Amino acid sequence: MEHSEILVVGGGNAGISLAARLLRDGAGDVTLVAPQPVHRYKPLLNYVAGGQATMAELERPMADLVPDGCRWVRDAVESVDPAAMTVRTRGGRVLHCSTMVLCPGLVEDWDATPGLHSAYAEGWAASSYVPGSTPTVWPRLTSLRGGSVLFTVPPEPASCGPTALKPLFLACDHWRRTGVLADLQVRLVLPAATATGLTEADRFLEDAFAGLGVEVLRESVVERVDGDLHSVTLSTPTGSRVLGDLDFAHAVPHYRAPRFVADAGLSADRSPGLVDVDPETLRHREHGGVWAIGDAADLATRPSGGALRKQVDVLARNLTAARTGRALKRYDGYTVMPITVSRRTLMLNEVERDGRPSPSVPLIDPFVPRRWQWAFDRYGLPQVYWRRILRGKV
């Protein structure tokens, strides 16, 4: 059996930046279990779907990103035994560790929406969230001159769900400038009553939806898709509702944590599938050697890459504190939901767990859309991501 001091599961934003940070802090024995050959900077997917970026800009080979000094097991975790502190990989390896950090993100739950997967295969549905389909979104949206189009925000758990509004606003801006917006019926399905649950952000967004003529269907999710009829069935507070004759659906799938988390008894009843950690210390409530951050962790806040900047810092400090018997640091639930509201403006929506504003730039109102924020999100942040965040320097 192979042993490591620290075993990190998942080579996404969380896993790579944490491994890099731990090695920078002097950890000597870090193993990363990550199967995928390519890493994606996911926030740019919305810009691909909105015609402002290409896939080549957001993809890098994993081999270029695994930090120096980190052991990379290029395999997927199949099961975890938290009592024995081991993981078994799909390739049959058993890896033992003293500390385990789970960050496998979320996976698409296609079964939750019958018909959606085949609608993607037929090209009638696509979204920024499913990378294989993302490059098809903007050509489809901009080919529309009239008819009916649907956008959805995915229900929780989802990876920074409100950012699924970016393609909607970028498309509406395009349709308005090209004079076809009035000929299109644009509908938006929201899982909650409002888009973000943040009063000030929602006030602005509601005005923007009204100004663009977007019909908002609230507290609803897509429960079924019929590709032949180009229709979706929504589950709404008043029952099922069918929307037919859609020309295109930017329908984001529902998500869940990988099953090995629940199979190992590491998830809580109240949030099926996510790793049941203390949302402040990031330590598993039952198994003290197990920790989790990122989209797969039950942190009582909206998951986002921005949130990970703080989570990685708190977790890195807490692993040392736990080893030396010092008090653990606390994560305040900071998160961010950047939304482009036109092709050149973006609102950041940076908040703490309770929804209080938490701007990274002091004294800036995080709910006001600004041009420099769009430029930073689109062009600046990807550079910070590749050069600093994934290298454990933030």
Asked if 12 interacts with ligand FAD (CB under 6 A), we say yes
Which one of residues 171, 222, 336, 389 is an interface residue with ligand FAD (CB under 6 A)? 336
Residues near 259 by beta carbon (within 8 Å), at least 6 away in sequence: 273
Asked if 77 interacts with ligand FAD (CB under 6 A), we say yes
Residue appearing with tokens 């993607």: 120
For ligand FAD, the closer CB: 10 or 115: 10
Residues in the interface with ligand FAD (CB under 6 A) total 37
Asked if 165 interacts with ligand FAD (CB under 6 A), we say no
Asked if 104 interacts with ligand FAD (CB under 6 A), we say yes
Which one of residues 21, 42, 310, 343 is an interface residue with ligand FAD (CB under 6 A)? 42
Asked if 161 interacts with ligand FAD (CB under 6 A), we say no
Asked if 34 interacts with ligand FAD (CB under 6 A), we say yes
Tokens of 106: 């979320």
Minimum CB separation of residue 245 from ligand FAD in Å reads: 27
Asked if 220 interacts with ligand FAD (CB under 6 A), we say no
Cα separation, 392 vs 389, whole angstroms: 5
Contact indicator for 67, 77 with CB cutoff of 8 Å: no
> Which ranges in 150-252 belong to alpha helices (H)?
165-177, 199-212
User: What are the backbone dihedrals phi and psi of residue 30, each rounded to the nearest 5 degrees, phi first?
Assistant: -120, 130
Residue appearing with tokens 């993981």: 87
207 in helix, strand or coil? helix
Strands 71-73 and 77-81: unpaired
Asked if 383 interacts with ligand FAD (CB under 6 A), we say no
Asked if 105 interacts with ligand FAD (CB under 6 A), we say yes
Which one of residues 159, 233, 301, 373 is an interface residue with ligand FAD (CB under 6 A)? 159
- Which of 65, 70, 85 has its CA nearest to residue 25? 70
Which one of residues 4, 31, 163, 301 is an interface residue with ligand FAD (CB under 6 A)? 163
Asked if 33 interacts with ligand FAD (CB under 6 A), we say yes
Asked if 46 interacts with ligand FAD (CB under 6 A), we say yes
Cα separation, 22 vs 123, whole angstroms: 42
Neighbours of 329 (CB within 10 A): 17
Which one of residues 295, 312, 378, 392 is an interface residue with ligand FAD (CB under 6 A)? 295
For ligand FAD, the closer CB: 107 or 328: 107
Specify burial of residue 365 (Cβ count, 10 A radius: 0-12, 13-18, 19+). Answer: exposed
Which positions touch ligand FAD (CB under 6 A)? 9-15, 33-36, 42-43, 45-46, 76-77, 103-105, 128-129, 159-160, 163, 258, 260, 294-296, 303-306, 308, 336, 338
